Structure 1
Amino acid sequence: MEELVYQQLNEKVYQETMDNGLKVFLLSKPEMAKTFGIFTTNYGSIDQTFTPIGKNEKVTVPEGIAHFLEHKLFEKEDRDVFQDFTKLGASANAFTSFTKTAYLFSATSQIEKNVETLIDFVQNPYFSEESVEKEKGIIAQEIRMYDDQPDWRSFFGTIQSLYHNHPVKVDIAGTVDSIQKITKDDLYTCYETFYHPSNMVLFVAGNFEPEAMMKLIRENQAGKEFPEAPEINRSYPDEPTAVSKKENSIKMPVTTAKAMVGVKENVGELSGEELLRAELLSGMILDYYFSKSGKFYEELYKEDLIDDSFQFETELDRQFGFTIIGGDSRKPDEMAKRVKEMLHELKAESISEEDFTRMKRKKIGQFMRALNSLEFIANQFTHYHTLGVDLFDVLPVIESLSTKDADEYLQHWIKEEAISVFQVKPQAS
């Protein structure tokens, strides 16, 4: 077991790679009442085309299968795993993103039993034809529910306008039609390929003794057999740098229109730390101009183009990246036009040293406050680890950023061919 010591943050993480390739990270916080554990596989909704373990030919599985698999792992032949956690006084959950699937729990007691339960249920799949068919109805209902939510439709509508071919444009849950094609064999194929311990990370943070916890995990893994670690061969379609649709819209039963401006990010050549620096700079710049205290936000608000729903977000990950800015507006065309103009203005803007120092201080403050959350640490540590970055190295990276970095980023960030506008319009009465 290796100790990773971060003097600046006064943190210590214990790490060990098990013989089967599973990477384990432990953050002991004796002062905390709660413990949080997350077991993550580097496999998400975009991983539709790959070479299955032990095979030579690529396959393309139905859209939404990673999310479907997440649901099915909780159901065993004789029980529902949620009940196991409830009996141990724990709260359990799971989520699927574009690039990851994670299983998690939080508890204040019986921590070792909860950790074992988490590991064991994820590493012991059970799928039957009958249960798979039953789940299709449940997930189809979930998909229809999201299809009725204007915010969700505007979010994915923007991504679909940005991307031509990349599977990031597909809803993480898939479609009602695509999930009907999922079979028990498909689930086992994906599980055996992507749920090998060597493609997974276990992070536990909270009130426990690290030596005893690592010993428990080590013995748990030693008692199981896994095939030799596969090299996972994933395949993604070629994606142009330009957006798929410059403008697109749908109609829904809303009283106020939604307008979203999407920026397609070119992340293809970025390494782990480069991706992190781009993510930090993008977030800092957007916050500086478009947060409620920002110059552009104030202009839009005074022009009566936005309301309190106005927001922005950036997601940069392996294979894709996007920024989405927008919200409700009584003048959606004008609002979108002004936001696009503002994005182009950024190239001509020069952030002063004083303002950039203020931006950095704000970012550092946000980061330090977030470190009070075990959930944030565990989730983000796992996320950054898959990108080749250490969460606790984020602080020195923020401190190293300069106005020159911001200016250079702004010059290549905004390109007209990478911008799209998506609207949710009220249905005609």
Structure 2
Amino acid sequence: MNKIENKFNESVYSFVTESGLQVYLVHRPGFKRSSAVYGTPFGALNLKQVVDGKSVEHKSGVAHFLEHKLFEDETKDVLSQFADIGANANAFTSYDQTMYYFGHNGSIEEPLRLLIQFVSKFSVTADSVEKEKGIIVEELKMYEQMPDMRLLMETYRNIFHTYPFIYDIAGTEESVRSTTLEDLRQAYELNYSDQRMCLVVVSPEEPEVLETIIREECLSHPLKDVTIENVFEDEPNTVANAYREIEDIVEQPKMSLAYKFPYEGQDRLKDEFIIRMILEMNFSEMCDDYQAWLDAGIISNGYGYDIDLRDGMGVLFFMNEGDKPQEFEALIDGIMNNLVLDEVMFNQLLKRYYGEMIMALAKFDDLAITIARAHFDGVNYFDYLEMVKNLKFEDLEACLKYFEKKDKTFLLMKNAE
């Protein structure tokens, strides 16, 4: 077991089991709370994989479907088993990962063993797969009836031609109804081997005790010597639709404006952080004209923005609601073409963000998930914190070049009369 040196007075250790599982332990003596997350870098985007040179395709939504089914057990529902020992357990599937986790205010051994055991066992039956389909289809229909969720999905379909963001994380009704037991088994066997996964534990328990428990539970896990690569079809730098109108039941029109641009940066996480700072400088309450935008009804409480960088491309999103879509588009366009960098704002934002990240270290459950996500992104989370701390104002200028060649799409959601 190795100690991970950091400048945040955190006792962090790591080791790899004989089965290839990467483990991180954060020792928090004096606390009662423990949390753990067991995750895989298999999410809704990973529909095509190359396994030892052989191409494998998955149905959209299979990662989410698999997450649902792993909580089943031959004798008793896994969530009930966690509840019986006083632990709160759950899971989520994102576009990039699937995470299983628990929090517990007592001895960690029993819930930790249960977490490793149930995620490491595929005991799904064909009958249970058929029963689950109706549940997931109803979940999809529920999301489709939520205007904000639909606005986001339709925005993705405006932006992307083939990139899997065009599918809901849960898939489509067609893909769900056609999913078979063998589809789930194939996805599980490829993506739930310890060499691809990560386990993070935040606990007052001694690291040596945790290491013993984890190594014991992983003894029966096979070491698989396979190479798996996620692949995507070539996605154009142009948007799929420049303008589109849709209808839904909304009190006020909703809208999205998005910019798609080529991205060839070498440090995606750093660039995303910097671009969020640039967005704050130009589009947030920090701007002198922000209140005037509100007073004029150009933006509303439904206004927001975000950035997502991927290999080869990036997307900026702006969401809003109101009855002035043309004015909103003109406002955002004008600012995007004249982005301002302000050193005073930079220093304020850096102190705020860094302070929030340091305070977040005290949140056991969130910290475990954050460390796991950072691992799958190829970084040590504490190194990422240090990177944020050491950012310089001059770093911002380099990111402006990404927006020089951008394509735009606008989506307007009107009330269905």
Per the normalisation by structure 2, the TM-score is 0.95
Return the alpha-carbon distance in structure 2 between the equivalents of residues 343 and 63 of structure 1.
34
Q: Does 1:206 align with 2:203?
A: yes
CA drift of 1:265 comes to: 5.0
Return the alpha-carbon distance in structure 1 between the equivalents of residues 311 and 215 of structure 2.
30
Tell me the SS of whatever aligns to 1:322: strand
After TM superposition, the structure 1 = structure 2 runs for residues 360-371 of structure 1, keeping only pairs within 5 Å, are: 360-371=350-361
Letter in 1 for 2:362: N
Return the alpha-carbon distance in structure 2 between the equivalents of residues 26 and 317 of structure 1.
29
Q: Does 1:123 align with 2:116?
A: no
Consecutive unaligned residues of structure 1, counting only runs of 5 or more, are none
Q: Against the structure 1 CA distance between its residues 16 and 35, is the aligned structure 2 distance closer, same or farther, given a 3 Å change threshold?
A: same
Return the alpha-carbon distance in structure 2 between the equivalents of residues 291 and 370 of structure 1.
23
**Aligned position for 2:308:** 315
Tell me the SS of whatever aligns to 1:339: helix
Tell me the SS of whatever aligns to 1:43: coil
CA drift of 1:298 comes to: 3.1
Q: Does 1:421 align with 2:417?
A: no
**Aligned position for 1:338:** 331
Letter in 1 for 2:396: A
Tell me the SS of whatever aligns to 1:236: coil
Per the normalisation by structure 1, the TM-score is 0.92
CA drift of 1:320 comes to: 6.0
Tell me the SS of whatever aligns to 1:6: coil
Return the alpha-carbon distance in structure 2 between the equivalents of residues 259 and 296 of structure 1.
21
**Aligned position for 1:32:** 31
After TM superposition, the structure 1 = structure 2 runs for residues 368-383 of structure 1, keeping only pairs within 5 Å, are: 368-383=358-373
Figure out how many residues of one structure are paired with residues of the other and give that number: 417
**Aligned position for 1:68:** 65
CA drift of 1:52 comes to: 5.1
Task: Please give the root-mean-square deviation of Cα atoms over the aligned residues, in Å.
Answer: 1.9
CA drift of 1:344 comes to: 1.7
Native 8 Å contact 1:98 1:172 kept in 2? yes
CA drift of 1:323 comes to: 2.8
Letter in 2 for 1:165: T
Q: Against the structure 1 CA distance between its residues 100 and 230, is the aligned structure 2 distance closer, same or farther, given a 3 Å change threshold?
A: same
**Aligned position for 2:386:** 396
Q: Does 1:142 align with 2:132?
A: no
Native 8 Å contact 2:40 2:98 kept in 1? yes
**Aligned position for 1:21:** 20
Native 8 Å contact 1:259 1:336 kept in 2? no
Q: Against the structure 1 CA distance between its residues 353 and 51, is the aligned structure 2 distance closer, same or farther, given a 3 Å change threshold?
A: closer
CA drift of 1:260 comes to: 1.4
Native 8 Å contact 1:168 1:320 kept in 2? no
CA drift of 1:80 comes to: 1.1
Return the alpha-carbon distance in structure 2 between the equivalents of residues 128 and 352 of structure 1.
59
Q: Against the structure 1 CA distance between its residues 221 and 319, is the aligned structure 2 distance closer, same or farther, given a 3 Å change threshold?
A: farther
Q: Does 1:59 align with 2:56?
A: yes
CA drift of 1:204 comes to: 0.8
Q: Against the structure 1 CA distance between its residues 173 and 80, is the aligned structure 2 distance closer, same or farther, given a 3 Å change threshold?
A: same
CA drift of 1:144 comes to: 0.3
Consecutive unaligned residues of structure 2, counting only runs of 5 or more, are none
CA drift of 1:28 comes to: 1.3
Q: Percent identity?
A: 30
After TM superposition, the structure 1 = structure 2 runs for residues 84-233 of structure 1, keeping only pairs within 5 Å, are: 84-222=81-219, 224-233=220-229
Tell me the SS of whatever aligns to 1:358: helix
Indicate which of 255, 259, 263 corresponds to 1:263.
259
